[in-house]
Structure 1
Amino acid sequence: MSEAQLFDIMRQALLIAVRISAPMLAVALVAGVVIGLFQALTSVQEMTLTFVPKVGLMLAVFWVTMSFMTTALTDFYVDQIIPLVESH
């Protein structure tokens, strides 16, 4: 395997990782901002108020996007990694 192939596969793997993690990170960001605004407006400073809804929303998004994540990872593995291993 050449250096160019290695860098190309690493670039593609990082792109897949970003695409897979983007929905959960976006939900965590939006939930954090909304809860932070709510806490600032109401002066409620409860730690579980930030943690529990954020984790619940992230679990829901993970459950909804599991098929997308699995498909993206298996497609990358089948299209990129297996042919690379079989050629050696």
Structure 2
Amino acid sequence: MDENLIFDLTRQALWIAVRMAAPLLAVALVTGIVIGLFQALTSVQEMTLTFVPKVGLMIAVFWVTMSFMTATLAGFFSDQILPLIAGG
């Protein structure tokens, strides 16, 4: 196993991590902006108002995208990692 192969696997693993985290981070960002605007417009400064909806929406998005995440990880493992293990 040479260093180019290790760098390529690391690059692919990081890209997969970005693709898997993107939906959750996007929902957290949009929810945070919407709630921040709501708080600025109404002068409501309640801490749970920012936390509860953001966590709830992130859990919902995680539940919806679990199959995509599982398929992505299983595909990477079976296509990239297992042949390296089997090949020695």
What is the TM-score normalised by the length of structure 2? 0.99
Whole-Å Cα distance in 1 between the matches of residues 4 and 44 of structure 2? 54
Deviation at 1:29, TM superposition (A): 0.1
Deviation at 1:7, TM superposition (A): 0.2
Q: CA RMSD in A?
A: 0.2
Whole-Å Cα distance in 1 between the matches of residues 37 and 9 of structure 2? 41
- Tell which has more relative contact order, 1 or 2 (C-alpha 8 A, sep 6+): 1
Q: Determine the structure 2 residue equivalent to 1:35.
A: 35
Structure 2 spans left out of the alignment, 5+ residues? none
1:12 aligned to 2:12? Answer: yes
Q: Determine the structure 1 residue equivalent to 2:55.
A: 55
Whole-Å Cα distance in 2 between the matches of residues 67 and 18 of structure 1? 16
Deviation at 1:50, TM superposition (A): 0.1
Seq. identity, %: 73
What is the TM-score normalised by the length of structure 1? 0.99
Q: Look up the equivalent residue of 1:9 and give its one-letter code.
A: L
Q: Look up the equivalent residue of 1:38 and give its one-letter code.
A: F
Q: Determine the structure 2 residue equivalent to 1:82.
A: 82
Point out 4+ residue stretches in structure 1 off by more than 4 angstroms: none
Whole-Å Cα distance in 2 between the matches of residues 34 and 73 of structure 1? 32
Instruction: Write the deviation string for residues 18-59 of structure 1: whole angstroms up to 9, x where unpaired.
Output: 000000000000000000000000000000000000000000
